[in-house]
Amino acid sequence: MTQNQEFNAGTVDEAVEKAAADLGVPAAELSYEVVDEGSEGFLGIGARDARIVVHTPYAGGPTETPASEVPSREEPREASIPVESEALEKEVAEAPSSDLSEVFGGSAEGENVPAPEALLSEVRDLVTSVVEAMGFEARVDVYDADGFIAVDVASDSTALFIGQKGETIDAVQHLVNAAVYRQRPFVKRIVLDAGGYRQRRVEAIQGIAHRTARRALRERRPVELPPMNPAERRVVHIFLKDNPRVTTASEGSGENRRVKISPA
């Protein structure tokens, strides 16, 4: 009998792995809903676990029913999933991981224009001033990462500088781009990072895209992701672009704009 069971952990992926371990079911076969994606809080203050609710035939765990009386679980699952669905799940699982250049890349005239040293120096001075004005002590490293100008901020208050769901670091990044290119031609996007946050965020969104594509496939209907900023939506589009049996489209406006993943 299908039952609902809640699991919590530091992240959604960790909660899924915990549920899979407790229930003895591969994580890829779990059907669940995300109740709360959790939060890192500020320097650990206000942090909360991610929570998911698992609702599969396996969620109730083992029963006392003799094995001879338990109907086969494998045959119904195979019969209920079309061959093309299995193929799509394999394609989604093997989709290439996006790097930061794919997500944030973009330069004048669409080419990889080298960033002048004067520009890198200006960015370094500006970011250092902003970080100091915010009350942080940090080391700021700036370099040309081919597709974008990378700015690494190393601080002992990394979580506070990143902010809840990246709101603070995104706001500073927007400010720096606007200030630097206010009176000079655009060269390439300036991307701020701290403690590897950007890559972790990209990987987390890829995981969400992967699970949502499986759900859209399993339920044979379009499924919407939570609202995301342009860079996060781009991660989803890039991650699933080479899967011919699934399509992605951005819908909505402003802060409510999101990606819808649909079976092709």
Domain boundaries, the chain: 1-80, 100-196
Edge-to-edge strand order for the sheet containing 149-155?
Answer: 138-144, 149-155, 190-193
Q: What is the mean pLDDT of residues 70-90?
A: 39
Residues 85-99 have pLDDT tens digits of 444 444 444 445 556
Residues 147-195 have pLDDT tens digits of 899 999 998 889 999 998 888 999 999 999 999 999 889 999 999 999 9
This prediction has a pTM of: 0.58
246: left (phi over 0), alpha (psi -120 to 50) or beta: beta
Q: What is the mean pLDDT of residues 199-209?
A: 90
Q: What is the mean pLDDT of residues 215-236?
A: 91
Residue 130 pLDDT > 70, yes or no?
yes
Residues 4-59 have pLDDT tens digits of 788 887 788 888 888 888 887 777 777 888 887 776 544 344 456 778 888 755 43
Rounded Cα distance between 117 and 242, Å, is 37
pLDDT of residue 98: 55
Give the mean pLDDT of the chain. 78
Q: Which CATH class is domain 100-196?
A: alpha beta
pLDDT of residue 28: 73
- Backbone dihedral angles phi then psi of residue 259, each to the nearest 5 degrees: -100, 135
Residues 21-35 have pLDDT tens digits of 888 777 777 788 888
